[in-house]
Structure 1
Amino acid sequence: MDKTVTDAVAAIADIPSGATLAVGGFGLCGIPETLIEALEQTGVTDLDVVSNNCGVDDWGLGRLLSAGQIRRVTASYVGENKEFARQYLAGELEVELTPQGSLAERLRAGGCGIPAFYTPAGLGTPVADGTMPLRYASDGSVAVRGPAKEIRAFGGQDYVLETAIRTDFALVHAALGDRHGNLVFNAAAGNFNALCAMAGKITIAEVEQLVEPGEIPPTHIHVPGVFVQRVLAVGPVEKRVEKLTLLSPSAA
């Protein structure tokens, strides 16, 4: 039951090129930076990544983008990452944009064994009608469009069919974890981490503090160890701020 691994390189050593990967975090909040850095060092390529967004150019998933290691991204928005936008518009990267709530539910459904679900989100938009560009050509034309999704009415209201997401691996970050893989997140840093942990066939969690089984009260656990296969203790980590807003002295 002891799921701890000794170092980040060992934790991600079996992630191959072409793997599908769910990565927790929201921008720079709660991202598994230690595991991402280790993955960058391996040089694996053609990764199919599912994450809310790709953060910024030089941190988090932005590192893998800049290194050309990601082939496809499923996300809810491009965000502040200029390289993400450049690669998408230049036809170097395939991107499936999904409403944020739908993305969350697709990950949760994958972890719960639910193959698909209906939602009103995206109805009447390119998300549902098959006009969303997945990949551009180098000349700016659309090379690949997303498929038109099934629409079905319930109670007189139309809904869009969304499929669940299940990935080969998941990388998540937690404030606290034990050797059995039970995880606790710090406030908003939980964001997509719990959902990604559920969706991965093999989930690797980096934790800032590692404790012994039984030290975390059962009612405090956010993700039970049944969803986690490996635990890496990383200690305190650098936590960057994506957008820093300061109050001017005159307004104080």
Structure 2
Amino acid sequence: MRLTTKLSLVAVAMFTLSACQKEQAPAAPVLDTDQAKQAYSLGVSAGRYLESTIEEYSKISVELDSQLILRGVQDGLAGKSDISDEDIQQLLMVLDQQYREKQEELAQAESAKAAAAGKAFLEQNAAKEGVIVTESGLQYEVLQAADGKKPVATDVVKVHYVGTLTDGTEFDSSVARGTPAEFPLNRVIPGWTEGVQLMNVGSKFRFTIPSELAYGERDMGTIRPHSVLVFEVELLDIISGE
């Protein structure tokens, strides 16, 4: 959400709060009608939004003085301002730019940190006994060998798997769902396409997949940019070829 939009919502919140300050509030709210409850709910919602918004900006070192915001709203309601409309527009544009630059700066720092951590994890994992590293950088371990057929990229395969981040956080699991997954092998992340072709039906492998063979710089929610992924995969069957 853009900063100017956030500030507009803050202004709405502050309008509600400043309006409440003009009257002497009772010791406890009288919530005896739906409209009273709605009004109270609006105030609570506005207060919570304002608190979370100021906290969000604080995290990126953009400090907004709530008292000055309140004073600005009060002056606006009174039809006056100590700053011209032209200057207000310019100041908010600068603030919006500052906010976006801070976000980008933090995102780049987080990305660099994640990439470095992923590289270190891959180096440590590659040194473990039983880990094989392919030319692409994919790492795998054979947990359970088998003599079944190997799939090719155009095959549809049936597998059970558990996917985790390097810290052990589980982000996906067909095992937890209790239902094997079926998919065309050439329509998944490159680390899967390459890795599962190394497996025989009935085997179980652990794959450690560099981010460039997974989701790279994309933010997938739990899977952050430059995340190294770890999968334990059991190849149950080859369903069909394309």
Q: Which has the larger radius of gyration?
A: 2
Structure with bigger helix share is 2
Please, what TM-score do these two structures have when normalized by structure 2?
0.20
Higher strand share: 1
TM-score, normalisation: structure 1 = 0.19
